[in-house]
Amino acid sequence: MTDARAQERRQALTGARAADSAGAERRRRPRGAVREGLVAAGLELARAGGPDAVVLREATRMVGVVPNAAYRHFADRDELLAAVCSAAMRELARRMADGVARVTGAYGDPAAARGRLGAIGIAYLEFARDEPGLFATAFAVPHQHAYGAAAPAPDLAERMPLDHLRGALDELADAGVVSRRRRAGLEYPVWSTVHGMAVLAGAGPLRDVPGETRDHLELLTLAFIDESLAGRDGDPASA
């Protein structure tokens, strides 16, 4: 056997061993690891390019599995996208929780309660600014998939953004800042106000304003919500 042919044989054997090793590694993956990997890959794709960038074939390439492997975990691309949307929403919820945790003061203290609601709003607007791809993806759940249960999550670790907002408003009611009469459903006008500013300043007509102007408008939005909840002239009794 010539040296050239011997070298080719060694390279072929090396390649076969590498393929066997990769296959064995995939077989050793814990149950659910591929699915988690695909969602994590989809999250990175969304971070860079928004919901349209979440593609099954690219996610499988990033995870290191054949494209058909994705269909053992997701019926189609929309099902993967729905899972990625949920993961993006959980990332927003985590940032909200971190912001709330930094506000000192006992539960039911009016100033602390207002501070916690403000922290939720700040986290929301910062997420929209810092992670525009994930922010857009969080609200891009395909029509045939649900956004999730409307009922509050009992476990703090499982709370979604709406759960954090509801908790803050409940505390405002307990603190007497918001009347019980006004509390029902109040999360939706508050959410829509902050979300509207995030969209206007992100992909909307305010996207090209200077950073200082955007900061000012976001602070105005949060102040408007705080003053509206407290009632005219800051009198909780009028709420």
Q: What pLDDT, on a 0 to 100 scale, did the predictor assign at position 55?
A: 92
Query: 18-38 pLDDT, tens per residue?
Result: 444 445 444 445 556 888 999
What is the pTM (predicted TM-score) of this model? 0.80
CATH classification at residue 222: 1.10.357
Q: How many domains does the chain have?
A: 1
pLDDT score, position 239: 39
> Is residue 14 one of the residues assigned to a domain?
no
Residue 212: which pLDDT band, with cuts at 50, 70 and 90?
very high
In a domain, 205, yes or no: yes
CA 188-117-115 angle, to 5 degrees, is: 160
H and E: helices and strands count for the chain: 10, 0
Task: Tell me whether residue 79 is in a domain.
Answer: no
Q: What's the pLDDT tens digit per position in 43-82?
A: 999 999 999 999 999 999 999 998 888 888 888 999 999 9
For 117-158, the pLDDT digits (tens) are 999 999 999 999 999 999 999 999 887 777 664 555 555 567
Q: Is residue 192 part of a domain?
A: yes
Range of the domain at 119: 90-238
* Tokens representing residue 234 in the block: 């800051």
Whether 54 is in a domain gets the answer no
75 inside domain = no
41 lies in some domain? no
173-177, 184-188, 233-237: segment of lowest average pLDDT: 233-237
Pairwise CA distance, residues 22 & 41, whole Å: 19
Alpha carbons 48 and 129: distance in angstroms, whole number: 13
Crossing angle between the packed helical segments 33-49 and 56-63, to the nearest 10 degrees: 120
> Residue 207 in contact with residue 213, Cβ under 8 Å?
no
